[in-house]
Amino acid sequence: MATSSRSPRATASESAQRTSRYRAPALEKGLDVIELLAAEKAPLNLSAISQRLGRSSGELFRMLQVLEFKGFITSAESGTGYVLTNKLFALAMAQAPVRSLVETALPIMRKLSHEIGQSCHIAVASEDQIVVITRIERPGDLGFSVRIGYRREITRATSGLVLFAYQSDETRRVWLKRCRLKGEAADSFVARANVVRERGHHEADSDFVRGIVDLSAPILRGEVAIAALTCPFVHSNPLVMEMAGSVDFICAAARQISGEIVHGDLP
C-alpha cells in the first residue's frame, strides 16, 4: 500500500499558496466596505471607514468612488458620510426563490389585509438580521406598515424569533453564534422559540410603537421556516376584526403560502 511522503508542513504551505493565489485584494476591499456599512445604523465618512477597516484613506478613496459610481453606496442626505443604497437588496430580490415567494404571497397577503383590516409583511433571514421583502398596507387612509428593506437583528425581532423557532438544531447554533448570543441570553431566546413552535405563532407587544402588537406565523418548506408572515396589529376604532380572530387568519394565510410554495416546487 502506497503512502504519501508529503509532510504536514508542506501540505499546509500548499494550502496557503492556493488561498493566496485566489485572493482579489481590490474586491476584498470593496466587500469589506459594503459589509461595514451594512452593519452600521449611521453614515460613515472616509476617515471612520478607514479606521474601522484598518486601511489607509488613500487606498479606500478610489474604492468608495467606484462603489458610489456603480450605485452600491451613496452620500447620506445629512452629508455626514456614506450609506448603502438598495441595489444589493434589488439584486437579491431578482433571485428566483425570493421572486417566487413574493409572487405567491402577494395575492394571499392582499386578501388577508382586507379580511382583518391590517397591514402585513414578509421577512426572511439575512446573516444575523431579518429583512422585509414585501408588504401590503391596510385598506383605508390610516395604518401602520413596515417598509420593504427594513432590517433588524434576528434576536430582537418578532419575525426573527418565529424564523429561529422553525430551524434545525444545527442551524440554531449557527444563528446564535452569528448573532453573538450566548449564556443565559441564548438559553432564554431558545426557550421562547420553543414556546413559539409549540403554539404555531407568536404575539408580542411592539417595542417601537405603543398600542401595536406584532402577530407572526411561519411560512414553511417542510418543517423549516423560510420566511415569517407578520402583522403589526393596530387597535384602531372601529376594528374590522378583533385580534384573536386575526391571529387565526394570519396563521391560515401562512399555511396557504407554505402549501402553494411546496406545490409549485413539484414537477
Q: Going by C-beta distance under 8 Å and a sequence separation of 6 or more, which residues neighbour residue 209?
A: 144, 232
CA-based nearest residue to 158, from 202, 200, 121, 119: 202
How do residues 215-248 score in pLDDT, each as one tens digit?
A: 999 999 999 999 999 999 998 878 889 999 999 9
Judged by DSSP in three states, 191 sits in: helix
Q: How far apart are CA 102 and CA 42, in angstroms?
A: 29
170 within 8 A of 224, measured Cβ to Cβ: no
pTM attached to this predicted model? 0.70
46 within 8 A of 33, measured Cβ to Cβ: no
Query: Would you put residue 52 in left (φ > 0), alpha (ψ -120 to 50) or beta?
Result: alpha
106 within 8 A of 135, measured Cβ to Cβ: no
CA-based nearest residue to 40, from 83, 2, 79: 83
Q: What is the DSSP letter of 86?
A: S
What percent of the chain shows pLDDT beyond 90?
A: 45
Q: Going by C-beta distance under 8 Å and a sequence separation of 6 or more, which residues neighbour residue 136?
A: 106, 109, 110, 112, 113, 119, 120, 121, 145
Instruction: Among 86-95, 138-147, 237-246, name the most confident range.
Output: 237-246
Whether the pLDDT of residue 13 is over 80: the answer is no
Burial 231-251 (b: 16+ CB within 10 A, else e): bbbbeeeeebeebeebbebbb
Q: Which three cell numbers stand for residue 78?
A: 445629512
Q: How far apart are CA 265 and CA 267, in angstroms?
A: 7
Cell 453573538 locates to 180
Average pLDDT over the chain, rounded to an integer: 84
Range name among 15-19, 25-29, 253-257 with the lowest pLDDT average: 15-19
What percent of the chain shows pLDDT beyond 70?
A: 84
Q: What DSSP element (H or E) covers 30?
A: helix 25-39
Per-position DSSP letters for 197-255, written without gaps between them? HHHTSEEEE-SSSTTEEEEEEEEEETTEEEEEEEEEEE--SS-SS-HHHHHHHHHHHHH
Judged by DSSP in three states, 154 sits in: helix
pLDDT at 2: 47
Cell 433571514 locates to 125
